[in-house]
Chain A
Amino acid sequence: MNRRDFNRYLIALGASSLLIGQKVWAKSYITFEQAKKIMWQDLEMVPFEYKMNKDQMKRIKENSKTRVRNNVLKGVKSSSNDFLIADQVIGKHEFIDVAVGINSTGTIRGVEILTYRESYGDEVMNQKWRNQFLGVSSNEILELDDQIKNISGATMSCRHITDGINRLTHTWKEVLQYI
């Protein structure tokens, strides 16, 4: 981007901040397929989907002390029961996509953030109002610019990710190891 384009971009950025609505900043990292390659290399894995029943979800919630939002487990698995799960956790306001690798013994092999989303600015001041829009696809999604790839000064705690990993460890104990 040259200087003129960049200035135009700044003006556009300024103008867009005057619009009423939710602006969600998204940053995409590796894809689910790349995460599979990084964690399991060429190991053959096939897609799977499993629908948990209410009892299973309740037990996972009790044991992990974390809310189970989704009853569908999705990802890929190997013939020897290694898993890569496509999961979502909620950050401060928005969903964050995560790939979590689980070894056949139930230990965590790796965690990769796939897409990070976050809202900034005045539109997030009223959190209660914002919460009703969680994950709603009508939010305006702005990909971080090619030139400006980082945000400084937003030290967000990764506690939600830690809780999500804990939930998946208990999901393995309750469900995945028997699939």
Chain B
Amino acid sequence: MNQIKRCQPFLGTFVDIYIEAETSDEKLIEVSNEAYSIIADIHRKMSFHEASSEVSRLNESAYREPIKVSQDFTQVLNFSIELSILTDGIFDICIANELMESGLLPNHNNYKHHSNRYENIEIEDDTVFFKKPLSLDVGGVAKGYAVDKAFEYIVNKLDSANVSQISINAGGDIRYFDWENSWVYIPNQNKNLKPYQLLRPGLATSSGYYSPGNNLQVFSPVTGKQVEAKETISVFADKCMHADALTKVVALSGGKYRCVFDKYNALYMKN
């Protein structure tokens, strides 16, 4: 059994790829290189900080004219809007304005930002139009989406009979191949690491470990207020993108919207 363990900086964090499979070194390098290219591509498309990204183009122009976007972007948008509808707007990617005002997101591009909500996004096939000016930030889903896409690429490239493990970890957004036999560390309220067994292939954890004051900070699109929590919130789901987005739903609504968790086969935990 051969293995590779690499880590590169993308999506504003560290992306760790681990593959253990019956294959050559060359194949492991080739497959992990391509997985990083996929992540780099999503990083370029979805970065709020880069003026040339699809997010920045939409924020600047989609109110004036319909903008054509990539398939990756429509997938992220469609899921985000679906989750906004299911949670009565508790989850909403149109939150960049508030994130900037509260200092959680820098205003690199010097746009005038707006606080209109997801109801104003129109998608038709691969074209997006805003009925009112909006400020999108897909930071709450893009990492999970990137992890899923790179993971599925690796799984398809290798013969699964020869694979014993694949894991991708983008700063706490995790997806595993052999998840039933896998454990991860999650920091608790005191920021000490505790081991937990995975309950689904995908996991996302939100904690305040790196935030000011070490508290978890999530901005509520409904109340317009920032919620602070001491605990760490983890969501297990089949897809990492679902887990990633649902951590915000838990932070902002507690145990509400159980049917949403059922829909995505998700479980949550606070510690």
Whether the Cβ atoms of B187 and A156 lie closer than 8 Å is no
Shortest B217–chain A CB gap in Å is 12
Give residues of chain A (51-72) contacting chain B, Cβ–Cβ below 8 Å.
none
Whether the Cβ atoms of A38 and B7 lie closer than 8 Å is no
Whether the Cβ atoms of A38 and B12 lie closer than 8 Å is no
Residue of A nearest to B232 (CB): A153
Confirm or deny: B203 has a beta carbon within 8 angstroms of a beta carbon on chain A: yes
Whether the Cβ atoms of B195 and A10 lie closer than 8 Å is yes
Whether the Cβ atoms of A152 and B191 lie closer than 8 Å is no
Give residues of chain A (35-60) contacting chain B, Cβ–Cβ below 8 Å.
37-38
CA distance A148 to B192 in the complex (A): 15
Q: Which of B7, B18, B187, B206 contacts A120 (CB 8 A)?
A: B187
Confirm or deny: A143 has a beta carbon within 8 angstroms of a beta carbon on chain B: no
Whether the Cβ atoms of A152 and B174 lie closer than 8 Å is yes
Whether the Cβ atoms of A116 and B14 lie closer than 8 Å is yes
Residue of A nearest to B143 (CB): A155
Residues of A near B12 (CB, < 8 A) are 157-159
Residues of A near B191 (CB, < 8 A) are 120-122, 124
Shortest A159–chain B CB gap in Å is 8
Whether the Cβ atoms of B206 and A153 lie closer than 8 Å is yes
Shortest B24–chain A CB gap in Å is 13
CB 8 Å contact bits of A120-149 with B (1 = contact, 0 = none): 111010000000000000000000100111
Stretch at the interface among B113-121, B124-132, B178-186: B178-186
Shortest A147–chain B CB gap in Å is 6
Whether the Cβ atoms of A150 and B16 lie closer than 8 Å is yes
Confirm or deny: A19 has a beta carbon within 8 angstroms of a beta carbon on chain B: no
CA distance A121 to B193 in the complex (A): 7
Main secondary structure of the interface of B (DSSP, over half): strand
Q: A116-B14, A153-B232 are in contact. Are A25 and B183 (CB under 8 A)?
A: no
Residues of B near A17 (CB, < 8 A) are 192
Shortest B206–chain A CB gap in Å is 7
Residue of B nearest to A115 (CB): B7
Confirm or deny: A85 has a beta carbon within 8 angstroms of a beta carbon on chain B: no
Whether the Cβ atoms of A152 and B203 lie closer than 8 Å is yes
Confirm or deny: A113 has a beta carbon within 8 angstroms of a beta carbon on chain B: yes
Whether the Cβ atoms of B183 and A112 lie closer than 8 Å is no
Whether the Cβ atoms of B174 and A154 lie closer than 8 Å is no
Q: Which of the listed residues A37, A111, A154 has the most CB atoms from chain B within 10 Å of its own CB? A: A154
Q: Which of A10, A121, A150, A159 contacts B169 (CB 8 A)?
A: A150
Whether the Cβ atoms of A30 and B9 lie closer than 8 Å is no
CA distance A10 to B194 in the complex (A): 9
Give residues of chain B (7-27) contacting chain A, Cβ–Cβ below 8 Å.
7-10, 12-14, 16, 18
Q: Which of A10, A38, A152 contacts B234 (CB 8 A)?
A: A152
Residues of B near A158 (CB, < 8 A) are 9-10, 12-14
Confirm or deny: A13 has a beta carbon within 8 angstroms of a beta carbon on chain B: yes
Residues of B near A116 (CB, < 8 A) are 7, 14
Q: A30-B6, A92-B210, A122-B191 are in contact. Are A150 and B13 (CB under 8 A)?
A: no
Give residues of chain B (191-240) contacting chain A, Cβ–Cβ below 8 Å.
191-193, 195, 203-207, 209-210, 232, 234
Residues of B near A111 (CB, < 8 A) are 8-9
A residues engaging B (CB < 8 A)?
Answer: 10, 13, 17, 25, 27-30, 37-38, 92, 110-113, 116, 120-122, 124, 144, 147-159, 161-162
* Chain A to chain B contacts (Cβ below 8 Å), 15 pairs: A25-B193, A27-B16, A38-B33, A111-B9, A120-B193, A120-B209, A148-B184, A151-B184, A152-B234, A153-B186, A153-B207, A154-B171, A156-B14, A158-B9, A158-B13
Known: A29-B7, A149-B5, A153-B234. 20 other contacts (CB 8 A): A29-B6, A92-B210, A112-B6, A116-B7, A120-B187, A120-B209, A121-B187, A122-B190, A150-B16, A150-B167, A151-B187, A152-B169, A152-B186, A153-B186, A154-B209, A155-B171, A156-B171, A157-B210, A158-B9, A158-B12
